[in-house]
Amino acid sequence: MPTTDNSLMDAAIHDPEELRSRSRSPLFFVVAFVAALAVTAALLGGYFYLRSRHAAQTLASQQQSAAPAKPVIQPEVKIFEDQAMIKGTQVTVGGTVQNISTAALTDLSLELELTRRADGSKESRTIALAPKDLAPGEQAKYALTVLSRDYRQARVVRVKSGARANEIAFTSAPGNQRPAGPPPSGNKTIIVNRPRDANGDFINTPDNPTPIR
Residue 133 burial (10 A CB sphere; 0-12, 13-18, 19+): middle
Does residue 124 contact residue 114 with C-beta atoms inside 8 Å? yes
Of 63-72, 114-123, 192-201, the least confident: 192-201
**Tens of pLDDT along 11-31?**
445 555 555 555 556 666 677
pLDDT of residue 96: 95
d(CA 151, CA 120): 9
Give me the pLDDT at residue 97, please.
95
CATH class of 77-174: mainly beta
What's the predicted TM-score (pTM) here? 0.53
* Weakest mean pLDDT among 19-33, 75-89, 142-156: 19-33
Between 165 and 82, the more confident residue is 82
pLDDT at res. 212: 36
Higher-scoring residue by pLDDT: 17, 206: 17
Q: CB of 107 within 8 A of CB of 133? A: yes
DSSP state of 182: P
- Bigger pLDDT: 77 or 60? 77
Do the beta carbons of residue 112 and residue 93 sit within 8 Å? yes
List the end-to-end C-alpha distance of the chain, in Å, as a whole number: 156
